[in-house]
Chain A
Amino acid sequence: GAGVSQSPSNKVTEKGKDVELRCDPISGHTALYWYRQSLGQGLEFLIYFQGNSAPDKSGLPSDRFSAERTGGSVSTLTIQRTQQEDSAVYLCASSFGSSNEQFFGPGTRLTVL
């Protein structure tokens, strides 16, 4: 069956531009997570959606970052006015319920010039 998919796989943008990253979770999974992994850094939690509950945005590094999940399925992570320090691999994961194993997508590599 299909796993978690993310698009684009690579994104190069100029400093100051806005970018949108997309995540398609596994069908039926109620929980969706965004993480990022900077070069040489560990994986950092960004935001978490669980069903119809208010999202946990505690990991978002600044108000330039936002995310939405439409219809309980696809999610979009938006970064406004990108900065060079935003360069990282952005990973999406989904799970059936928030306590079960998380299935990760291949990630989107964002490079801000």
Chain B
Amino acid sequence: DAKTTQPNSMESNEEEPVHLPCNHSTISGTDYIHWYRQLPSQGPEYVIHGLTSNVNNRMASLAIAEDRKSSTLILHRATLRDAAVYYCILRAPTTGGTSYGKLTFGQGTILTVHP
């Protein structure tokens, strides 16, 4: 699996935007970029994913560099509930008979949100 690199930790103030970076210089042309987050004492939850174009959903936005070697998860207005570990994960598309389904988690970025 291609590797991702994220900062160990970041801090933000409530109501401010947060930009969480992820480097994935060895990404292959068919790897999708997925983001999950893990709130304290909970299992991970899906945030967003994309391939080439920027993506928006109700939780966040994903900005993908033109060369796809990096991406940024954007939380537009951080709340205290957004304090979590954020994981950037590369996933190859499903191919019959192979196990592309598993997620390979790195250490992630610990996001602290200050009131």
The residue that A33 contacts in the complex, of B45, B102, B107, B108, with Cβ under 8 A, is: B102
Smallest CB gap from B94: residue in A: A99
The residue that B106 contacts in the complex, of A35, A42, A56, A59, with Cβ under 8 A, is: A42
Quick check: B101 and A103 within 8 Å, CB to CB? no
Q: A98-B101, A104-B45 are in contact. List 11 more A-B contacts (CB 8 A).
A: A33-B103, A35-B103, A42-B108, A43-B44, A43-B87, A44-B105, A45-B103, A93-B44, A98-B99, A102-B103, A104-B43
Assess A102 versus B94: contact at CB under 8 Å? Given A42-B105, A43-B103, A45-B103: no
Determine whether A25 belongs to the interface, using a CB cutoff of 8 Å to chain B. no
Smallest CB gap from A56: residue in B: B99
Quick check: A48 and B102 within 8 Å, CB to CB? yes
Cα distance A97–B87 when bound, in Å?
A: 21
Interface residue ranges of A20-39 to B (CB < 8 Å): 31, 33, 35
Interface string of A84-112 (1 = CB under 8 A from B): 00000001010101110111111100000
Determine whether A76 belongs to the interface, using a CB cutoff of 8 Å to chain B. no
**Residues in chain B near residue A35, CB distance under 8 A:** 103, 105
Cα distance A33–B113 when bound, in Å?
A: 31
Quick check: B100 and A104 within 8 Å, CB to CB? no
- The interface size of chain A toward B, counting residues with CB under 8 Å, comes to 27
Determine whether B29 belongs to the interface, using a CB cutoff of 8 Å to chain A. no
The residue that A99 contacts in the complex, of B38, B91, B105, B106, with Cβ under 8 A, is: B91
**Residues in chain B near residue A93, CB distance under 8 A:** 43-44
Q: Which 7 residue pairs spanning A and B have beta carbons closest together?
A: A104-B43, A98-B101, A56-B99, A101-B46, A43-B105, A99-B94, A45-B102
Determine whether B93 belongs to the interface, using a CB cutoff of 8 Å to chain A. yes
Determine whether B104 belongs to the interface, using a CB cutoff of 8 Å to chain A. yes
Cα distance A14–B44 when bound, in Å?
A: 28
Quick check: A104 and B44 within 8 Å, CB to CB? yes
8 contacts between A and B (CB under 8 A): A33-B102, A97-B94, A98-B94, A99-B91, A99-B101, A104-B43, A104-B45, A107-B43
Nearest Cβ on chain B to A113's Cβ, whole angstroms: 22
